[in-house]
A and B are shown apart, each in its own frame.
Chain A
Amino acid sequence: MPINVPNLPAMTGRLSVPRWFTVAGAATLLLVPLQSQGASPDESVSVLIARHCLECHSGAGRKGGLDLTRRETALKGGESGPALEAGNPDRSLLLERVEKGEMPPEGRTQLTAEQKALLREWIAAGAKWSTDPIDPFLYSSDRRAGYNWWSLQPIRSPPVPSIQNPKSKIENPIDSFVLAKLGEKQLEPSQPADRRKLIRRMTFDLVGLPPTPAEVEQFVSDPDERAYERLVDRLLDSPHYGERWARHWLDIVRYGETQGFERNKLRPSAWKYRDFVVEAFNSDLPYDDFIRWQIAGDVLRPDDPLAVAASGFLAMGPYDLTAYNNGTPDMRAFAREEELEGLVGVVCQTFLGLTVNCSRCHDHKFDPITQREFYQISAALGGIYQGPEREGLSAAGREAANARVAELKAQIEKLAAEEQSASDAHKPDLAAHRSRLESVVRLMEGGPAHVPVLKQPDAWRILARGDFRQPGETVAPRGIAAVSGLSPDWGLAQDAPEAERRKALAEWIAHRDNPLTSRVIVNRLWAHHFGAGLVRTPSDFGFQGGQPSHPELLDWLTGQLVRPDEGQPWSLKHIQRLIVLSATYRQASHGDPKAAAVDSENRLLWRQSPRRLEAETFRDAVLAVSGDLDPRLGGPGYRDFTVKSAGDNENYTVFDAIGGEFNRRSLYRTAVRAGTSPLLDLLDCPDPSVPAPRRSVTTTPLQALSLLNNKFMEHAAQRFAERLGREANGDEAAQIRRAYALAFARQPDAGEIEFGQKFVAQNGLAQFCLVLLNASEFLYVD
């Protein structure tokens, strides 16, 4: 396939245009050859053909048998005879159909009179193909993305807009980009949120837990003008930060601790991958290494227990053991192809936002990815299998790790001693840090891990229609040509060793010039701070996905990740720090009908979006407020289910998880496929069988019933009430004040105290607590 990509200007929108075009109207392209800028009519017509004709008239499934990518095939024509006669427009069927308005067909963007005239002139002049063949992926159209699609272009360094006489505060360049866009629509940002709201919002965002009343009061009354910055730093340093952000990551990699399907066996050591992710966030592992380790950590750093645990990423998908152990050869082959499609999908969507998996059976319908390229990528992953858990660390690594464990244990002892003499306020923090070190020790100590089993792939073939019974040409491991900025050629032969394949893939993805990798992760971070990304489809930066609301801001922020003004590149904490320090993030979330009339979805960020707690965050918050949360990090998950083995199958029955180890954060729930938690399900916890780049937010009567009646909820309310009894000295009003402080991070007004007292008198304190845990104010973050 030719990869002769012209040097096009950066895209600004779906209908962005090469330089020899001008745009007339919102959706119609007016072809105007600008000779002065160097485009000949031949080039212009090639563009026209690429945009308007090749979607149907190219490739294996071409309509009417007509292939317009080559001059030769166009002259030869299709089922209706020759399409063109060079030099003779009046004997050219193509022109006749176009001039009659029959082509492009109804429903497609029609050609303008000027374009038709140009086509006539071009045929008269001999119908020269400026490039032969014309690559159907050359240009984006209103139907599909081409090589010039915005997300595939190199990262720009857009100038920070200068805002004249800003009416609101500009904390950093993020705000300038946002204000510039708001100004275009005569919108203004919202006022800053008050400190109570800010600390509740940011604590949930960064560590996934509610702030304690003491933390709230301390922050609210902090006279230091850098109080906010200090809060940001404290939260980013908290070991609970890693737990919060690991959960987001586990959603997109479909982290599952059982295989799924009929056998559905447990993966008893899969948690090591989860703990690696937690630690990667906590230690701010540079994102390029985070990628490398997950794709090839076992071969890049075979001596590093964390990098080896990271490669568990490759073995997290569902696995049909029945097909392998009992199936016919066809069943095994089919299961294998499905597995590979899933793996290509999860690798390319997670890191690149590219749906390469859609081109398993045919060239991608919407993005410039060929079927061949699907197999080039799958060739890089084709040695990956699942199998028994095993020690993945090298012998040399074992020794080094043991030494490191000894060091860590000494540190842990020191921290434990410090805890003894620390103040009550400081104790939890020290305990959390100690727990983090203990978690790392667990990863270092070795033993079996759920990492892939690797085999050298055989000759790797393109499968016609994705069918293993129709093998075709062989391919070598290689990248995707449409990704600009770096070569798709990895210099690998078709029989390259398995390890080299994954290394090359990892390097190609983690390369700082790969424009997708950095844009995609920056957008994911943004999405979790604003409820939606600048691109609203975090795992799809192709045509079916969205356009960025603020393309310049996205690129500026991406630049800060890859080539930061200060500090190390690829620091996710640096990007998050920029985001939460912006005035844009600190805005109030209150509605405004006037602004909503212009921008109901808040794409321009005239306010912060109110958000409902995710399922796990809700459950964690309930535990925290009731005083029962066990904050320890890492290790094997809790199992709120019984397992019944029947034959070779494992069947899971889930029960309400109350007390004891179930007081740990919901991140530590063992992620059973076909055994999800009904309480969490009702709050839109995604099925671990498929990646979940965005969670839905649904509100249903069954959810209401569960939050009121579920045993876990009843128990938590009871514990919450007991806590109030302990902490508020039996004074009813004081108990209600304490309850509001714990649940809502604020004090109740006189009316609310009276209302509460009346309710408590009639129904008891525990019922009051249950009501608070069901309140919108508890479930929503302003």
Chain B
Amino acid sequence: MSIDLLSRRDVLGQFATGLSGMALATLLTRDASAATIPGEAADPPPHHPPKARRAIQIFLQGGLSQVDSFDYKPELARLHGQPVPGKEKPVAFMGKVGLLHRPHFEFEQRGQGGLWVSDLFPHLAEVADELTVIRSMWSGTGNHTPATYEANSGFRTLGFPAAGTWISYGLGCDVDNLPTFVVLPDSRSLPTGGANNWTSGFLPARHQGVVLNTSGPPVRDLAPASGVDRATQVARFAALAELNRRHLEQHGGDDALEGRLRSYELAARMQLAIPEVADLARESAATLDRYGVEQKECADFARGCLLARRLIERGVRFVQLWSGAAFGSEVHWDAHGSVPDNHRREAAKIDRPVAALLGDLRERGLLDDTLVIFNTEFGRTPYAESAGDQAGAGRDHNADAFSVWLAGAGLKHGIAYGTSDDIGWKAAENPVDVHDFHATILHLLGIDHTRLTYYHNGIQRRLTNVHGRVLTELLA
């Protein structure tokens, strides 16, 4: 794939000789950068002035341990090696309830706001003042896949549209030469559930997340499978335009047929736009270094974060980055065996790139109207996953309390909202469920979560089902 495979000038040049005046005129009067694809919601947003125009989501699959990252629990350290206090019998997904284990990483108060962040994320700790941490998240299930579906779509079963597709459906895209919702999977593999995680579900297919690969051809079928030369590609576009225009005229005009004609014009533009956005060589050495593109342990995620910035700069509405590959082998945050080993390895991949992304967005002024979301499907138990009389190094799934954060537009920065109990086991003060979380994200994007609906199979569906409260306490 190279950018000059099909340059814009060539497209136009060939169209000029091969096409009727009408088709050429339509093409020439449109400026690629000005065109937008609107959403198609029946009650279209904005429902109120948006704070954020776009969003980047970083999703940690497997379950980030809250008590080892953003939820500081001195009491847990004090009770290390003791059983869980109180009457309630702890449960564990893997069936092994060990003794309480102290945080595996040291905590410190960071930045001006004094937010507690552990040494697991030394780079993120540097930008702690940008973060709005929620420490009282809870999920309906401690089962990875349903919890991941819930975190993405609000439902614990498959087939419901992901938040990114709802946002695409509501807001559309600022440009027409790039997809609205782009997904950057972990370079090790797609997550469990694959494309189910960014499916458009019952929403029209154009809102589905489009996978952008950080190596190899960036998007499927962007270029011909065989090496068809540039002239032939241009000739194909021209001939199709001619055939489809004639067909349209013979059918007395028709929106759908006109849409087809236009889709090929946009395809030609996308062939130029995507390689351009994917070409990180256009970034300065300082930027590449800042993200860690040259650092072996974090190069992949660094490329992803940099791509995310380049995508939103060019008008993409929603970018989702996955940290964590499919279950089965340990290539995600599911630290059953050893939190220090697992979390240190996974954090090393993302810490520097995510911190660089926040800093870079801030310096470019983009953080003023961009929302960054950092979440996971559930947390981990404060007690070890080990024999009942031991405090081993692993932790099991904990749906009842975990930590996530938001950053950017419209938020109070450098604060923590909600609390878990003294040992970080269950959400205590101001518990937040995924519907509240989604409602708040939509709110920041100018969307009333109760008004963004789609009729499917007898029900007016929403991202937030029949729930959700905007967390006004987090809003600036």
Contact = CB atoms under 8 A, between A and B. Distances in A.
Pairing of A with B: yes
Interface residues of A, number: 92
B206 A687 contact: no
Contacts of A330: 91
B203 to A, nearest CB: 8
Nearest to B244: A776
A338 B156 contact: yes
Contact of B205 (A544, A681, A714): A681
B476 to A, nearest CB: 33
Contacts of A589: 251
Interface in A667-703: 673-676, 678, 681-684, 686-687, 689-693, 696-703
A542 B157 contact: no
B461 to A, nearest CB: 10
Contacts of B94: 326
B193 A261 contact: yes
Given A647-B328, A703-B263, A681 B141 contact: no
Contacts of B205: 681-684, 696, 698, 700
Contacts, number: 248
A775 B329 contact: no
Contacts of A762: 231, 235
Interface string B450-467: 000001111110000000
B267 interface: yes
A648 interface: yes
B271 interface: yes
B256 A699 contact: yes
Contacts of A775: 240, 243-244, 247
Interface stretch (A96-104, A404-412, A763-771): A763-771
Interface in B411-438: none
A358 B145 contact: no
Interface stretch (B98-106, B108-116, B215-223): B215-223
Given A647-B327, A771-B239, A775-B240, A700 B455 contact: no
Interface stretch (A67-75, A112-120, A705-713): A705-713
B76 to A, nearest CB: 22
Contacts of B368: none
B269 A701 contact: yes
A539 B266 contact: no
Contacts of B220: 678, 706, 710
A110 interface: no
B242 to A, nearest CB: 7
A323 interface: yes
Contacts of B193: 260-262, 264, 674
Contacts of B388: none
Given A328-B93, A651-B328, A780-B257, A690 B267 contact: no
> Helix, strand, loop or mixed for chain B's interface?
loop
Contact of B158 (A318, A326, A763): A318
Nearest to B145: A262
A704 B263 contact: yes
B189 interface: yes
Contacts of B140: 334
B448 to A, nearest CB: 17
A328 B240 contact: no
B183 to A, nearest CB: 13
Contacts of A592: 252
Given A610-B251, A684-B205, A704 B327 contact: no
Given A699-B256, A701-B267, A711 B225 contact: yes
Given A649-B328, A699-B260, A776-B248, A690 B201 contact: yes
Interface in A592-641: 592-593, 610, 612
A326 B140 CA distance: 16
Interface string A523-544: 0000000000000010110101
A465 to B, nearest CB: 11
Contact of A687 (B190, B196, B243): B196
A260 B239 CA distance: 43
A14 B92 CA distance: 52
Given A646-B326, A684-B205, A320 B146 contact: yes
A132 interface: no
Contacts of B242: 755
A683 B270 CA distance: 18
Contacts of B199: 687, 689
B410 interface: no
Contact of B222 (A264, A338, A651, A705): A705
A645 interface: yes
Interface in B142-180: 142-146, 156-160, 176-177, 179
Contacts of A684: 204-205
Contact of A675 (B92, B194, B219, B251): B194
Given A260-B158, A355-B457, A355-B458, A674 B93 contact: no
B32 to A, nearest CB: 12
A238 interface: no
Given A590-B252, A651-B189, A767 B232 contact: yes
A774 B210 CA distance: 22
Given A327-B93, A698-B205, A767-B236, A651 B192 contact: yes
11 contacts: A318-B158, A320-B145, A591-B254, A648-B328, A674-B195, A675-B194, A702-B179, A709-B221, A709-B222, A774-B264, A775-B244
Interface of B: 91-94, 140-146, 156-160, 176-177, 179, 189-190, 192-196, 199-202, 204-206, 208, 210, 219-226, 228, 231-232, 235-236, 239-240, 242-244, 247-248, 251-254, 256-257, 259-261, 263-264, 266-267, 269-271, 326-329, 455-460
Given A687-B196, A687-B199, A702-B270, 15 more contacts: A322-B143, A326-B94, A328-B91, A542-B458, A544-B459, A674-B193, A699-B263, A701-B263, A704-B264, A709-B225, A710-B221, A714-B226, A759-B235, A770-B236, A775-B240
